[in-house]
Amino acid sequence: MKAKKSLGQNFLKSKQALRDIVQAGEVTEKDTILEIGPGKGALTGELLAHGGTVIAIEKDRELITYLSEKFKAEIATKKLLLIEDDILDFEFSIYKLSATTYKLIANIPYNITGAIIRKFCEAEQQPERMVLLVQKEVAERIVARDKKESILSISVKAYGTPKIIAKVPARYFSPAPKVDSAIIAITNISKNMFTAVSEQSFFEIVRSGFAHKRKVLIKNLEEGVSIPKEKLLIIWEQLTLSPNVRAEELSLENWGQIVQKLQD
């Protein structure tokens, strides 16, 4: 089975990385696991070995045939449900997945990382936790260790707590990608933040704030969402923010405070 570049396939071959992913997922026999792009089934096998019931979504028809044979016994006992589908078209209700009733654990196609994270964070049927193998650079942007936030990091932190579990060198994949990867876990997933502020308004403000990286935040909001500068200066003073602060310097808490004051 050769990896298809068009589907962003890079098969993980490190047993240690597989163990790290399953351990980060805290997989037990009571868990329902949604796996995206099982590939040749290396992670699928580990998940099943730890007792979880796995729903695996695979777009590649050739791999569906391969996996159907490899996991014939697990499919027969309903420990594995193998579905040919595109994860971006996945319908939660069909498989009776509701909020916090499942975990999302996967080595995902890197070309749709953002779309996958957005789909599952924004869904009413959010997973209990997400453990994903992503590009190392993307993982670092999500946790923002350099204290420079981005739309991606704020978007993830609005819904959960991200943490880098381990780095996975490119040589641990077949074929080897051009960049290293990292395992990231997102826990404490909920929409609790949006009980106080509108989800739609929050992201409208955040997107406008990051629209022009070189401009100060007040200027971006003044131009992007037509908020008078005078109003913003009053809010900035109330929150003890510098008038020259940029979007990347604000914490999630800062963004929530700004949106809440704009809603008042």
Of 3.40.50.1580, 1.10.10.10, 3.40.50.880, 1.10.8.100, the CATH number of 195-263 is 1.10.8.100
Encode pLDDT of 248-260 as tens digits: 999 999 999 999 9
Please give the Cα distance from 204 to 184 (Å, whole number).
Answer: 26
How many C-beta atoms surround the C-beta of residue 2 within 10 A?
Answer: 9
Determine which helix (DSSP H) or strand (DSSP E) holds 181, and give its type and residue range. Answer: strand 181-187
Please give the Cα distance from 17 to 96 (Å, whole number).
Answer: 30
Q: Is the dihedral of CA 212, 217, 219, 221 positive or negative?
A: positive
17: left (phi over 0), alpha (psi -120 to 50) or beta: alpha
Mean pLDDT per block of 10 residues along the chain (264 residues) reads 53 91 95 93 94 91 93 97 94 89 92 94 96 96 91 97 96 85 97 94 96 94 94 97 97 96 89
Predicted TM-score (pTM) of this structure:
0.92
The candidate with the shortest Cα–Cα distance to 87, out of 143, 47, 132, is 132
Determine which helix (DSSP H) or strand (DSSP E) holds 255, and give its type and residue range. Answer: helix 252-263
> For position 264, what pLDDT does the model report?
81
Query: Which CATH architecture describes the domain 5-190?
Result: 3-Layer(aba) Sandwich (3.40)
Encode pLDDT of 12-41 as tens digits: 889 999 999 999 999 999 999 999 999 889
Query: What are the residue boundaries of the structural domains of the chain, listed by start?
Result: 5-190, 195-263
The candidate with the shortest Cα–Cα distance to 168, out of 120, 133, 215, is 133
CA 207 vs CA 75, 212, 247: distances in Å: 44, 10, 10
Six-digit token pair at 222? 């003044």
- Per the DSSP assignment, residues forming a β-bridge with 35 are 56
> For position 111, what pLDDT does the model report?
86
